[in-house]
Chains A and B, each alone.
Chain A
Amino acid sequence: MKLIHIDKKEWNQGMERAQKEYLLFSPVKDKDKEQYLFGPLAHGEVPDMTHADTVLSPKSIIFPQTEKMLHASLDPSQPDHHIMKRVPEEYGPRAVIGIRPYDVKALTLMNLNFDTDDYRDPYWCDAYKATTFIALGVNSPSSVDFSTSMGSGPFDETGVDVLLVDNQDSYIAKIITDKGQAFMEAAGFNAEADPSARETLDNIKANAEKKITAKVGTDTLRGREILELYEAPFWDEIAFSCINCGTCTFVCPTCWCFDIQDETKGKACTRFRNWDSCMFPLFTLHGSGHNPRGEKTQRVRQRFMHKLKYFLDKYDQGTMCVGCGRCVESCPVNIDIREVCNIMNNYEPQK
């Protein structure tokens, strides 16, 4: 794996060069609020490299909140009327600049759902394949960052194409994949870093990981019986304050559930998918009127059990939480997944 040296003074020029071939995304500050969201950059706009916290995860770049899937004409005079066809979409090369390493790892976990041997979600797969992830290591993790407890970390390389390390006046760029190499070539960065860069990188990484103080235990979750946790007595207490909004699931970098809707306008019909949330009663409402998760405790339990138990058991790839801390920050009633995970992990059933 090659290490490249990039002088920060040359960074913006490189991004302008890259923009000739790639559509760039990065955190973008709202013009009225102290708030960042991932968004596409206009031509000549440079990425934000200030380690900004985004309220929402970058998953919407690959998996938009509302996405057109299929469309059809309802006009009987058309030969192919009422036949649903895929909406043509451009999947030109795109790169996400300044994405956090654990957010890239989160996308690899979503990949386990969208790209399988049995089913391949074409919308997700096409977008994912077209995207290069230029991650920026997090030198100073925030107090809600518990990524190291969740099998990831502020310098995790899983799924990352290039890992940028902020080193005072320069970036050390670790090129991890061919996709990453291609992006760096497009940006015109090719100065090999001097041999001490590897040690510098390791030091910065070790220092960052040391700053994460949150300790969340997950070691006993895999070995437990599902019903032992499912029937545990603590769920009502955890769920009491929950107002059943979708905030936690919408800010989450790994929540992938969606709902499919058809909409018609005149003689045109479009099939969309929209993010859905297991916090909403409608999520599980059957056509019969029966709702298997009609109570809020059942829904709160589902979210944590899915992230911290069912996913583990099904895929054996760790938890479906990378410890980004967004839900901890955004939950209006302070339901803290770090606390819940510890309660689950430390639970001792009464014999």
Chain B
Amino acid sequence: MDQLTEKIRELASTLLKDGKVDMVIGFADGTLPMTSRPFLATESDKAAQLVWNSFCSLNLTNYITGRKEKIALFAKGCDSRNVVNHIVENKISRDQLHIIGVPCQGMVDKKAILKAVGGEITGLCEEGDKLTVSSSHGDVELNKNDYLRDNCATCTHRNPVIYDELAAPLVEEQTVEEPFADVAAIEKMEPVDKARYFDNLIKDCIRCYACRNACPLCYCPTCFVDESGPQWVGKGQNPTDIQTFHFLRAFHCAGRCTDCGACEAACPMDIHVRAFTRKLNKDALELFGWEAGLDTEKRPPLDTFNPDDPDEFIR
């Protein structure tokens, strides 16, 4: 067992034993290689099932929404930014949380590994940056940093922004020259190519809503696509209806998205849904100098009114 997992178990077990929290939310190992499972421990002996590895891609903040208990939560940089969002948006109170920061070295893109290895993956062993992947074609060694998820490769908030204690020392933040090069490339497209790009992007969508449900921002009691009186959007596989879902969901996340990538990690159809939210993240940065989830005292730009706003229309 690696040091970090050991530390995580120890911290969780102590918090539960001392009665400092009612529950600990972390990750447990999944049943297949390269999977993890969000896990709830309410008794100290359950803490032994917690793990931490490069496949803890989902965002655990999704599991604290509206809870009433005192919760200990393991949070990487992005998760912690969503905790900040949750506090700002009154989805949980700071007093209820014991945040254990887990400085992050990036999560691995499972699909990139599958593509690189070919064949069925039967096991994966992680040691520092070295991934030893066993497959039907034998064992192969890969460098983790070549297979990071897109959002992790461009992440500049690997360290938690809010925490009560740390499970490991803080890490050096990355400097990324052009964090939005991908968005800029789409912006440059001719309208017809842009339309084609987005049509192609979501052509496989099955409307399972895994992207929405994995997202900590999507906590509406009834999502607009589920409203039945009145019904805002058709329920079938009509491409316009599918587009409507993706566009509106992205707009609801404008100025709130931390680019944690849980949406893409959850998508069963390998759809690059972050193409939508990243455009809005870029706009939020360029228009408002805003990055979501960094300060519990500030409300997101589309959620506030400022009488000193430089634009005429708002006055």
The distance in angstroms between the C-alpha atoms of A35 and B31, with both chains bound, is 22
**How many residues does chain B have at the interface if contact means C-beta atoms less than 8 Å apart?**
41
Give chain A residues whose Cβ lies under 8 Å from the Cβ of B114: 34
Measured CB to CB, the closest approach of chain A to B203, in angstroms, equals 9
Cβ-defined contact, A244 with B213, below 8 A = yes
Give chain B residues whose Cβ lies under 8 Å from the Cβ of A34: 111, 114-115, 270
Give chain A residues whose Cβ lies under 8 Å from the Cβ of B206: 56, 65, 246, 250, 275
Measured CB to CB, the closest approach of chain B to A284, in angstroms, equals 12
Give chain B residues whose Cβ lies under 8 Å from the Cβ of A277: 208
The distance in angstroms between the C-alpha atoms of A208 and B62, with both chains bound, is 41
Q: Can you name the residue of chain B whose Cβ is closest to the Cβ of A260? A: B235
Cβ-defined contact, A338 with B31, below 8 A = yes
Cβ-defined contact, A251 with B268, below 8 A = yes
B167 interface residue per 8 A CB criterion: no
The answer, among A30, A241, A329, for a CB contact under 8 Å with B38, is: A241
Cβ-defined contact, B210 with A247, below 8 A = yes
The answer, among A241, A247, A272, A282, for a CB contact under 8 Å with B208, is: A247
Contact with A along B19-50 (1 / 0, CB 8 A): 00000000000111001111110000000000
Which B61-112 residues have C-beta < 8 A from chain A? 62-63, 111
Q: How large is the interface on A (under 10, 10 to 19, 20 to 34, 35 or more residues)?
A: 35 or more
Given contacts A37-B204, A240-B39, A259-B235, contact A333 B58 (CB under 8 A): yes
A186 interface residue per 8 A CB criterion: no
The distance in angstroms between the C-alpha atoms of A275 and B235, with both chains bound, is 9
Select the residue from B200, B204, B207, B210 with max chain A CB neighbours within 10 A. Answer: B210
Give chain B residues whose Cβ lies under 8 Å from the Cβ of A143: 32, 120, 122
The distance in angstroms between the C-alpha atoms of A330 and B208, with both chains bound, is 11
Measured CB to CB, the closest approach of chain A to B226, in angstroms, equals 5
B214 interface residue per 8 A CB criterion: yes
Give chain B residues whose Cβ lies under 8 Å from the Cβ of A241: 37-39
The distance in angstroms between the C-alpha atoms of A263 and B237, with both chains bound, is 13
Measured CB to CB, the closest approach of chain B to A208, in angstroms, equals 14
Cβ-defined contact, B234 with A334, below 8 A = no
Select the residue from A35, A281, A334 with max chain B CB neighbours within 10 A. Answer: A334
B3 interface residue per 8 A CB criterion: no
Give chain B residues whose Cβ lies under 8 Å from the Cβ of A33: 270
A125 interface residue per 8 A CB criterion: no
Q: Can you name the residue of chain A whose Cβ is closest to the Cβ of B27? A: A241
B228 interface residue per 8 A CB criterion: yes
Measured CB to CB, the closest approach of chain A to B195, in angstroms, equals 17
A243 interface residue per 8 A CB criterion: yes
Q: Can you name the residue of chain B whose Cβ is closest to the Cβ of A64? A: B237
B306 interface residue per 8 A CB criterion: no
Cβ-defined contact, A261 with B234, below 8 A = yes
Measured CB to CB, the closest approach of chain B to A280, in angstroms, equals 7
Cβ-defined contact, A240 with B32, below 8 A = no
The distance in angstroms between the C-alpha atoms of A339 and B28, with both chains bound, is 14
Give chain A residues whose Cβ lies under 8 Å from the Cβ of B39: 240-241
What residues make up the interface of A, taking CB atoms closer than 8 Å to B?
30, 32-35, 37, 55-56, 65-66, 140, 142-144, 237, 240-241, 243-247, 250-251, 259, 261, 263, 272, 274-275, 277, 280-282, 285, 328-330, 332-336, 338-339
What residues make up the interface of B, taking CB atoms closer than 8 Å to A?
30-32, 35-40, 58, 62-63, 111, 114-115, 120, 122, 136, 200, 204, 206-210, 212-214, 226, 228, 234-238, 265-270
Q: Identify 11 new A-B residue pairs, CB closer than 8 A, beyond the known A35-B269, A245-B266, A338-B31.
A: A65-B206, A65-B237, A143-B122, A240-B63, A243-B62, A246-B206, A247-B268, A274-B236, A277-B208, A332-B268, A334-B32
Closest 10 CB pairs of A and B: A332-B266, A245-B210, A66-B236, A334-B30, A246-B208, A243-B213, A66-B237, A330-B268, A241-B38, A334-B37
